[in-house]
Amino acid sequence: MEETALRQSVIDACLELTDIGFVYGTWGNISVRWEDGMIITPSRISYEQLKPEDLVYVSIDGRTVRGYNTASSEKEIHRLIYAARPEINAIVHCHSAYATAAADIGDAIPPITEEMCQLIGGEIPATSRFVPSSHHKELGLEASKSIGDKNALLLRNHGPVCCGRDLAEAMITCRVTEKAAKIYVVTTRKEPAPIDPEWVADGRDYFLNRYGKEN
């Protein structure tokens, strides 16, 4: 696929995530592998306004950035997973409700549906602790370490990261992850673990004063 069409396919996928209620506002991000890095959605621009040229290119080592917007604040999750997993060519991070509920419980979701085996490779692991989005590098390291050889991951108290060999596959992985999480949450009825008060205050400060301004 040529670059502009690929960029447009990312925008179309963003709009689909909004349509199906997996993302509200700009809390989500999508990337595709491109050249020796990735093309990723920018920070803080609503999906309805996105144009292909708004997306940002980031090299695999993070040193080269092309584009006039700031790359998504969660770019390190994407970048480090691409670096660790050469077969993955698309990553979708959303904040869908049941996958986030499962991420609040903090368990790995065991392989409870056939689609999980086929698309995800078995269980959906979870990061071992909450890392705020403001700690980009730490969150990226935690994610790339925790996902192992699976195609989906739950970020504690945050949401799912879903991968595929192409964008269409990553989008299906999102739906399969949400369905598995729904089954797990509804059938186990476990209590969610809240975010520590210090991180609640930090999250509010990040949103008001730092979001979209930091790299």
Instruction: List residues with catalytic annotation.
Output: 74
Place of tokens 């596959």: 169
Q: Which two tokens stand for residue 80?
A: 């480090």
The DSSP secondary structure of 79-126, one letter per residue, reads: HHHHHH-TT--EEEE---HHHHHHHHHTPPBP--SHHIIIII-S-B-B
Q: Are strands 159-164 and 29-34 parallel, antiparallel or unpaired?
A: unpaired
Specify whether the CB–CB gap between 162 and 91 falls below 8 A. yes
H/E run at residue 37: strand 37-40
